[in-house]
Structure 1
């Protein structure tokens, strides 16, 4: 089953040298601190690209979106840009941990103090990406920010979660996660990124669906929508066992307002396609009648 968005990557090399997202020799915590300091000095917002190299959508973004004059002009005038390879650089891994990032590229829009305005990801065409930049500018002017704390505090996260992102040890037993979450408010930041970042399911699915609209407001639609789609994929199997297409359709429709009309058409189509159709697996060398 397809993920909510295809995992992609973007090496942001803008046509205009003055605003190119230059690939630092090493994106470090020091360079991250410098980016925030520059944003404060120049009274600009911060645009962060979390990426890894080696996929087709990277080249598509590079070729079609970032060289566009409209995109380049907005980034140059209003943003300090920062990029990090999440497979090679510690600051990229830490930013992914902080925000429970699971797909790439992921874009962070922040103010100079590190307050998150919005999070988005996946391939964005020129119009979509320009709209993201403009919306971020307008939200910052209104003082509308997400619920994330502005700094990365490693001590706030349990060891299993830090190891998942910093050491790549993502096969965390559910029992370990469950023991931690039982003692926490699952709507708070750390619990939220654990649930979405590690794709936690079971008894956490229904409360997440129920609170998805508020969570989207608190932490951004990108992370919430992706996890909702993952939950609905799991739910589909339950409803198929009961042969309850009507009930599953109603559940899918309950999430409609989280998505744009285009997104909902696409992903509801994926979810409802072949509902209840038995998947026949033909073993190699099996005689066919």
Structure 2
């Protein structure tokens, strides 16, 4: 029995070490292609970790979650892992562009052919992360995938969007974005990633809220809930001007089913806190009496 536990422990340590090594390998377009080929050969799914050096929750995942024996065993058994620093590596930038990524870490769970099963982000506990991986496995078995196309086709994106992600030129005039979006269908993938990836507001907020549940089904809850929260923060100012707490509360509650109960409790509390309370700005240069 003791010998059995020693062998099991060695296997789990090897799994942890394998994932750690993969995390240290520089990610390139060629390595991304090789990852997909490996997943197809081994009949596994793909797990992508998009991060950057200096990101606190990214570092926390590396330290507390990925080395966990349960997590490492699950990743090594069922996934081919791919990790990319989105500030240093071109393929990371392209994957962020493809999926309109704005927060980190972001996790892509995909089939070997590049079909998206789910997108998630932020720090996950070991329990939350293993549940994410298990749910991805079950969805893949059922053939349930998101609406994203499987390949990165750079020529399909407008120049302003490519420059925003590949060159860091994110200050795009609204008029430029607006002109382009008016030529696209609301349900189109590129429409969705431009709106969420560039945080497009103004007259696009109401349409996004109206379509948010369909967007969540088609493109994943993570991107949608992040953008809905941004919209509701903007809407709060409008409702405060009208002193309409009831109306704003109803608007917040309309988004409830997009979030888990824990998430909704957290975000609704943030949104409704200090509603209508005048923000006092203290001038630090003012002289004290």
Q: TM-score, normalised by structure 2?
A: 0.93
Rate the CA distance shift 1:190–1:285 in 2: closer, same or farther, 3 A: closer
> Do the aligned residues in 2 keep the contact of 1:94 with 1:165 (CA within 8 Å)?
yes
Structure 2 residue 180 is the aligned partner of structure 1 residue 198: no
Q: Which has the higher contact order (CA 8 A, sep 6+)?
A: 1
Measure how far apart 1:21 and its partner are: 5.2
CA distance in 1, matches of 2:150, 2:280: 50
Structure with the higher fraction of residues in helix conformation: 2
CA distance in 2, matches of 1:112, 1:255: 33
For 1:58, the equivalent position in structure 2 comes to: 58
The answer for unaligned runs of 5 or more in structure 1 is 1-12
> Do the aligned residues in 2 keep the contact of 1:75 with 1:81 (CA within 8 Å)?
yes
**1:218-271 Cα deviation digits (max 9, x unpaired):** 000000000000000000000000000000000000000000000000000000
CA distance in 2, matches of 1:206, 1:94: 29
Measure how far apart 1:19 and its partner are: 3.4
Structure 2 residue 56 is the aligned partner of structure 1 residue 75: no
For 1:3, the equivalent position in structure 2 comes to: none
For 2:9, the equivalent position in structure 1 comes to: none
Measure how far apart 1:57 and its partner are: 2.1
Rate the CA distance shift 1:288–1:238 in 2: closer, same or farther, 3 A: farther
> Do the aligned residues in 1 keep the contact of 2:16 with 2:66 (CA within 8 Å)?
no
Measure how far apart 1:64 and its partner are: 1.6
For 1:225, the equivalent position in structure 2 comes to: 225
Number of equivalent positions: 277
RMSD: 1.6
Measure how far apart 1:31 and its partner are: 0.5
Measure how far apart 1:25 and its partner are: 4.8
SS of 2:72 mapped into structure 1: helix
> Do the aligned residues in 1 keep the contact of 2:15 with 2:76 (CA within 8 Å)?
no
For 2:87, the equivalent position in structure 1 comes to: 87
**1:143-197 Cα deviation digits (max 9, x unpaired):** 0000000000001100000000000000000000000001111221001000000
